[in-house]
Amino acid sequence: RGCRRLVLGLVGKLKRVLLWLLVVYVSIPVIIKLCPSIQAKLVFLNFVRLPYFIDLKRPLDQGLNHTHNFYLEPETGLKIGVWHTVPAQMWREAQGKQGDWYDSMLTSTHPLILYLHGNAGTRGGDHRVQLYKVLSSLGYHVVAFDYRGWGDSDGSPSEGGMTSDALFIYDWLKQRLDTKTPIYIWGHSLGTGVATNLVRRLCDRGSPPGALILESPFTNIREEAKSHPFSMVYRYLPGFDWIFLDAITANNIRFASDENVNHISCPVLILHAEDDSVVPFHLGKKLYNMASQSKSLSGHKVQFVPFSSSLAYKHKFIYRSPELPNILRYEHECCS
């Protein structure tokens, strides 16, 4: 009798847990449909600030002892935080220097990479910092910033705002660089959508960058959202597009890189790990196939570099590749 009571008790608890899971499962689509702004927050994840307790005013704390933190105003009353890391060979000279010195170094002949990070976290995220170090060691200036609504930048996130901030920073840099110094645009994950938006606008006005580098890119936000692991439990639910994807579109979020590549006219390099579970490899490959057939990219080098699953680079560790210096050197030589 005691065992039977125990079994019945466990069965009852299991039923209650399953009922609660069912309620949660059904509630999430209903809430998102009623409040589509929630879906926008899930796309941007700007409220997830990892690592916590980092002081973005002190890049030195992250091992960047040749990096200057400063703030710019893309719009009146709206400040965004920026880091400028000089090439590693300048690190000794950089010690104790202020903003004027860093500005003056932009006139050097070293090429510059404008880095556009993905969702969640800040410009001080660990994998981002590690990439800055790699690029700096290869002789690049690296400029990274937090879009409005991220990190210690003011404002609220939107696709239009992210693209405007990137364009503002690009123009600010262009005014300070030597006319012969190339700027390369590097986007990662969600930042690849910002990057193609930016480069499309630059090409439309007749001033393309030196090259566009896309790390772990997708075709457009709807296809990425449908492929994301978070959507797995709802992917085959009737009305998935109507409930989840239409909510993204309702927030004017498109990040249509597949359309943008038809308006881009500069060299394009795509880097993607086969074991990327956040932005599936097939989306990066699909974007490459579209870019390689684009009329606007005809005559420009379009390259796709895959990284084997055995390397375990996943979504954000391509910076660890010992081949990366050679890949970028070859890209730079082709663009020079």
Residues 171-192 have pLDDT tens digits of 999 999 988 899 999 999 999 9
Catalytic residues: 189, 276, 315
Averaged pLDDT for residues 9-19: 81
The residue type found at 99 is G
- pTM beyond 0.85: yes
Q: 222-236, 244-258, 313-327: lowest mean pLDDT where?
A: 222-236
Which one has a higher pLDDT value, 334 or 52?
Answer: 52
The residue type found at 95 is Q
Work out the widest C-alpha separation in the chain, in whole angstroms. 87
Name the token pair of 243: 């409930």
The model's confidence at residue 19, banded by pLDDT at 50, 70 and 90, is: confident
Residues 124-139 have pLDDT tens digits of 999 999 999 999 999 9
